[in-house]
């Protein structure tokens, strides 16, 4: 079955420093991977996706993600964190049954301190 | 450009009562999803529709839960009778089946449900 794992419940980083939020995946077939962000009292917002092609995917708000097939990872990165980036981040993978079904990770809370 | 609209945003009711959550997807989208989010279980997919037809309801926890999509612009999630363990934030999301079938899902802001 398709699955993703987010090993960190929380990531703390100082404003201006680079950030990384980790995600590993397990799939049968080609991986279709996504990152979403959730701000307090809001729904999830799409950040970026990997389908095929370049291993470095650029998305919204200056975020990017690096796909690594050998390590089955899809880590979210940003060169310089902002306090406003503090939120809950979810990694997701397309489910095996039906292309539209997403399987989400447990989420990682990012806290950026001033 | 209106996003996914959910109502009500908050619902507080007593156990045993019927609860109806509503969702209006983005116009033109042909997939609709209902999720539940709790601290204990995280984000769970309950059911999803394609062109108003339920495709996968394996995530619906019990017969007390039912979902309908009578037309392309409206869906309901009903809980009858409600129980305190149903307290959660319920999200609706919609997406468009593009050529690559990799279009992102767009989420509403959720309904925070509290069953007393």
Q: What is the pLDDT of residues B16-72, one digit of tens each?
A: 999 999 999 999 999 999 999 998 889 999 999 999 999 999 999 889 999 999 999
Write out the residues of chain A at the interface with chain B, using a CB-CB cutoff of 8 A.
32, 34, 36, 41-46, 49, 51, 90, 94, 97-104, 106-107
Residue A95 banded pLDDT, cuts 50, 70, 90:
low
Asked whether residue B98 carries a pLDDT value surpassing 80, the answer given is no
Q: Specify the pLDDT at position B99.
A: 58
**Which of B45, B91, B101 lies nearest to residue A43, judging by beta carbons?**
B91
Q: Is A93 exposed, middle or buried (0-12, 13-18, 19+ CB in 10 A)?
A: buried
The closest of A101, A4, A45, A94 to B47, measured between CA atoms, is A101
Q: Specify the pLDDT at position A96.
A: 60
B98 touches chain A (CB under 8 A): no
- The residue length of chain A stands at 114
Asked whether residue A98 carries a pLDDT value surpassing 80, the answer given is no
Give B6's strand partners.
Answer: B23
Cα–Cα dist B70/B74, whole Å: 7
Cα–Cα dist B72/B30, whole Å: 7
Cα–Cα dist A33/B9, whole Å: 30
pLDDT tens-digit profile of A6-40?
Answer: 999 999 999 999 999 999 999 888 888 999 999 99
CB atoms within 10 A of CB A13: 19
Q: Specify the pLDDT at position B1.
A: 64
Q: Specify the pLDDT at position B103.
A: 81
User: Does the beta-carbon distance from B93 to A101 stay under 8 Å?
Assistant: no
Q: Specify the pLDDT at position A1.
A: 77
Token reading at A88: 């809950």
Mean pLDDT across chain A: 92
């Amino acid at each position: 079955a398709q699955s993703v794992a987010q090993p960190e419940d929380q990531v703390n980083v100082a404003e201006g420093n680079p950030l990384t939020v980790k995600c590993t995946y397990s799939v049968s077939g080609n991986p279709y991977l996504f990152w979403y962000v959730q701000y307090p009292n809001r729904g999830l917002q799409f950040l970026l996706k990997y389908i095929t092609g370049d291993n470095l995917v650029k998305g919204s708000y200056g975020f990017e993600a690096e796909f690594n097939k050998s390590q089955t990872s899809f880590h979210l990165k940003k060169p310089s964190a902002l306090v406003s980036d503090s939120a809950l981040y979810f990694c997701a993978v397309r489910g095996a049954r039906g292309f539209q079904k997403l399987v989400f990770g447990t989420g990682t809370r990012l806290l950026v301190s001033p | 450009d209106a996003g996914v609209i959910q109502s009500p945003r908050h619902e507080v009711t007593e156990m045993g009562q019927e609860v109806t959550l509503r969702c209006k997807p983005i116009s033109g989208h042909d997939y609709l999803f209902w999720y539940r989010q709790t601290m204990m279980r995280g984000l769970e997919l309950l059911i999803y529709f394609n062109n108003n037809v339920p495709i996968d309801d394996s995530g619906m926890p019990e017969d007390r839960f039912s979902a309908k999509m009578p037309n392309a612009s409206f869906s309901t999630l009903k809980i009858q009778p409600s129980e305190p363990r149903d307290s959660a934030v319920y999200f609706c999301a919609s997406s468009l089946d593009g050529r690559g079938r990799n279009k992102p899902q767009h989420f509403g802001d959720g309904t925070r449900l509290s069953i007393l």
